[in-house]
Chains A and B, each alone.
Chain A
């Protein structure tokens, strides 16, 4: 396995993630355009769709905020080159920053200094999962600041139950209004501890827009929240309309008897991401 080649493939993954939206997201945006009747909502959606075309055709970052570079890696237990994979991920962030280019978005919280290359302490943010097999699946999420700022964690009183969960999610979607650049895809993390709930909310965003959770009871909860959220009337970019969210994604963990963490983490309309597969030989295949 060659580190430089792996880095180059990851840079291309970044290019894909910041210059285009996934097929499923684009489809959902086009459907939203067909559904909206109000002039203001249509002006926003037309600009969004035109912007998507420009990004794709000119290989130009669709948004100037190219995000915090975030990775979710599912690595097979028999994958041999873990250290090299980690080095390549870090290296690819620096290369992508220079070449695509990405906006330097990594700032030391104490000194306010910008590192200039999107790397720093614990950044890029890499979440590792060990799975069966001998290959690695890498999800790249360039996560924008505007949507991340609208995240919320509530340590809910368990007695409020699922009704409480629904209220918290809908309150937050109403509260954040146009700020996270709707129509958003909203990640929801239930259970675990505070940290795990937030991580699951972000991880839930990895599933394609429109795809329901594999468990029926969670799928139904997603559908209910999707439908109710779109009755709120926030609309594209908060100017009013029928499309406030493109999807709601839920992930959960078992919880402590005394705790019921509810995490809400929105992703802007672009829902930027890429998914790559690294074979045991180091060949890279773009999956999404």
Chain B
């Protein structure tokens, strides 16, 4: 089992290629649209944690309080392409090297991954129970009141969370682009046989 511990070893991330799968033990933080926007608009001294140390997870968890403690109910990935308008600026400014979501991202993000030696990984959509099981503790939450539950930054301590499949790497490869080309070819063939 290929495991990354946090703080993330940036050099090891550079070696990851599309098709590689790995797990994380340590801390991951969630960030959806509003969270990206929030962090990008505030001053450096107001950023409450170091995003370069941990993996970012596109996720709005189902979570609730039990006897005063946050308990994660289910925490699968959300559709990453919504974050495309923020991601290159986010990577540039905060140095995050591992981004996890679903469905892939676009050209701008792919360029940023290449420039900064980062990767985008797909975590299986809908696999929220599996992830919730790997989350051992809610370490912290930031901007909860302002952003609300799904949009807040949740800091999760995880053990062997994954598998995360690298689908966009720092060498400019994207499984999403490769599959899209393949599907387009197949579609033409299938339709010509109708």
Interface set of A (CB-CB < 8 Å, partner B): 19, 39-40, 43-44, 46-48, 50-51, 54-55, 58, 60-66, 101-103, 144, 146, 163, 166-167, 170-171, 174, 177-179, 181, 228, 231-235, 237-240, 268-270
**CB atoms of A62 and B179 under 8 A apart:** no
Which residues of chain B have C-beta atoms less than 8 A from A51's C-beta?
Answer: 124, 126-130
Instruction: Map CB proximity to A onto B148-169 as digits: 1 under 8 Å, 0 otherwise.
Output: 0010000000000001010100
Given A40-B175, A51-B127, A55-B129, A64-B183 contact (CB < 8 Å): no
Cα–Cα, bound, A261→B159 (Å): 49
**CB atoms of A166 and B194 under 8 A apart:** yes
Instruction: Map CB proximity to A onto B11-41 as digits: 1 under 8 Å, 0 otherwise.
Output: 0000000010100000000000000000000
**CB atoms of A232 and B190 under 8 A apart:** yes
**CB atoms of A231 and B103 under 8 A apart:** no
Tell me the smallest distance from the CB of A103 to a CB of chain B, in Å: 4
Cα–Cα, bound, A60→B61 (Å): 13
Cα–Cα, bound, A179→B126 (Å): 11
Given A51-B130, A54-B130, A62-B128, A40-B178 contact (CB < 8 Å): no
**CB atoms of A103 and B194 under 8 A apart:** no
B115 at interface, CB cutoff 8 A:
no
**CB atoms of A181 and B125 under 8 A apart:** yes
Which residues of chain B have C-beta atoms less than 8 A from A47's C-beta?
Answer: 123-124, 127, 130, 163
Which residues of chain A have C-beta atoms less than 8 A from B129's C-beta?
Answer: 19, 51, 54-55, 58, 60-63
**CB atoms of A61 and B74 under 8 A apart:** yes
Cα–Cα, bound, A66→B60 (Å): 12
Cα–Cα, bound, A277→B124 (Å): 34
Instruction: Map CB proximity to A onto B56-69 as digits: 1 under 8 Å, 0 otherwise.
Output: 00011110100000
The 8 Å CB contact of A62, one of B64, B74, B175, B184, is B74
B144 at interface, CB cutoff 8 A:
no
**CB atoms of A268 and B183 under 8 A apart:** no
Which residues of chain B have C-beta atoms less than 8 A from A61's C-beta?
Answer: 62, 73-74, 128-129
**CB atoms of A64 and B122 under 8 A apart:** no
Which residues of chain A have C-beta atoms less than 8 A from B102's C-beta?
Answer: 178, 181, 237
Tell me the smallest distance from the CB of B129 to a CB of chain A, in Å: 4
